[in-house]
Amino acid sequence: MDGQPCKLSIHHERERKTGPCFPLWVMWCSTHQRSFTIYPPGHVPYGRKPLIIVATDGGRVLDLENGAERFRGTVFDAALDASLNKPWGDKAGVRGVWSPFSTQIHQIQRAAAILGLEPDIHDDQRHAIAQTLMLPSLLLHAGAACFAANSGYQKEGEAICSVLKALPETTSLFERLAETGFQTGLWPAPFFVDPDHKWLRPSRFQHFRTRAPPTSI
């Protein structure tokens, strides 16, 4: 923002127990005396699973399933299982028994936030998310109504899957989902490597926000 060019170098590699299956680069800018981590396409900061399955260069993986099942192995796993009435259960392994704060319920709520299905966000923000995801606003409103009615984990999973099925096949899908996660306050503003101009650019799908993003992760 100060107009001074960044001078970047690799400071060190950071091992991860979850998320990407290889160490991440921590970069250092000697101009501004700041560091940041570069995540591979598909991943967001400190995420245990990717938003979508892509190759390490951001390219499409050709042998994925169709429809909502193409999101297997991502942050939407909990919703996919819920739509099939497959509860993850509690720590004792009792099927169908969990607390409101169980891992599956928490991940369903997080998936709903990424897709704009939270019932308490403003309609204008839901419309902005629909534009970002190239989806009809009515589809997101219907899903939000399901969550507002406390319809149960299976119906909520089905609502999320209906949105996943409708998401278009596009190379910009990861960037769009990363942007909607920022719009709903799940992570800071994403930046993306522009290999042609050799800089970090902001999202191409920015919209106004009605909720402030988090100050830290």
> Can you tell me the distance from the alpha carbon of 9 to that of 27, in angstroms, rounded to the nearest whole number?
6
Tell me which residue of 90, 93, 71 sits closest to 80, measured CA to CA: 71
Among 34-48, 50-64, 175-189, which is the least confidently predicted range?
50-64
Tell me which residue of 167, 127, 119 sits closest to 143, measured CA to CA: 119
Q: What is the per-residue pLDDT for 215?
A: 43
Mean pLDDT of the chain: 86
Answer whether residue 56 shows pLDDT above 90.
no
pLDDT digits (tens, 9 = 90+) for 140-197: 999 999 999 998 999 999 999 999 999 998 889 999 999 999 999 999 899 998 888 8
> Can you tell me the distance from the alpha carbon of 163 to that of 24, in angstroms, rounded to the nearest whole number?
31
> Can you tell me the distance from the alpha carbon of 204 to that of 131, in angstroms, rounded to the nearest whole number?
12
Q: What is the per-residue pLDDT for 98?
A: 54
Segments making up each domain of the chain, as ranges: 1-38, 50-202
Write down the pTM of the prediction: 0.83
